[in-house]
Amino acid sequence: MSEVENLVANGVKEVVLISQDTTKFGFMNGSELSELLKEINSVVGDFKIRVMYLYPGKVDRSLLETIKKLKKVVNYLEIPVQHISDTVLKEMNRTYSGNDIRKMINEIKDVFGDNYALRTTFISSFPAEKNKDHEFLKKFIDEGNFDYSGAFKYSKEEFTKAGKMKSIPKKEADNRFAEIDRSAHLAMEKRLDRFIGLEMEVLYEGIDPELNVPVGRGWHQAPEIDGITILTNVENE
C-alpha cells in the first residue's frame, strides 16, 4: 500500500500487480487478493489498477465481482490456461480441467457481459500431447474466447517431470505450433474487431521512437504485450 501511495503521489497513472500466481496473494496470513484490490482502490488519486497472471483454478465469482465493482480496477484478466485437454493438463500438473476452464469463461461473461478483455497463453507440443489433443486445443482457440493469446512451443526443462518424457519429434512439433499460433492470431483479430468505433480513455505514453507518432494504451491493452494505440488528430499544446 505504501508503495502504491508513493507511486501515485509521483504521478503514476497505472499500477500493475503481477507475480507468479497473483491469486495466491495473502494465502499465508489469511488475506486475499480481493481485499488488496479494495485497499488499493481506496488510495486517493487519478490512476488505474491492472491485475496480471491469475491462476485459472482460483478465479472465482467473488474475485470477478470485486474487479467489476471497483472503479479503478480495469476489467482486464490475464489467465494462462495453457491447454484444454484434460490429459495434457493433468501431465502439466494443473489442478483444473478443461471443463473448469469453460465454466470460468462462462462466469466471466456472466459477470462482465462483453465489457472485459481476456488474455491467455497456450503451450503446444507438450510431451503428453497426442494429435487428438492438439486438434482439441486448436478447435477451442477457434471458438474465439480470448482477446489476446500467446502461443509457445514446449521446450524441455531439466529436473522436471516433463523433462523426463519423450519429446514430440521436431518437425511435428513445429507444424503443430504453426497451426496453434495461426489460430490464435486469427481468433484475436476477430475478437478485437469489437473495439472498432468505441470511445475510451487512453493513457498517453509519448512519441513512439520508431513510428514517430503519439501513442498510448486503452484499458484493454497491458503494457509491452498487447500492442499500442496510435493517436491521430492530436492538437499541439
Identify whether the C-beta of residue 173 lies closer than 8 Å to the C-beta of residue 129: no
CA angle 155, 160, 163 (to 5 degrees): 45
pTM value? 0.90
Buried-state track 6-42, b at ≥16 Cβ within 10 A, e below 16? ebbeeeeebbebeeeebbebeeeeeebbbebbeebee
Q: Which CATH number fits domain 2-200: 3.40.50.300, 3.80.30.20, 3.30.43.10, 1.10.3720.10?
A: 3.80.30.20
Q: How many residues are recorded in the chain?
A: 237
Distances (CA, A) of 178 to 98, 111, 129, 152, 190: 22, 34, 15, 10, 19
Give the relative orientation of helices 98-112 and 61-69 as an angle to the nearest 10 degrees. 30
Residue 45: predicted pLDDT: 95
Q: pLDDT tens digits, residue range 20-71?
A: 999 999 989 889 999 999 999 999 999 999 999 999 989 999 999 999 999 9
The number of beta carbons lying within 10 Å of the beta carbon of residue 108 is: 21
Residue 52: all three cell numbers together: 496480471
Residue ranges of the chain assigned to CATH 3.80.30.20: 2-200
Q: pLDDT tens digits, residue range 158-185?
A: 667 766 778 899 999 999 999 999 999 9
Instruction: Quote the distance between the C-alpha of residue 23 and its chain's center.
Output: 13
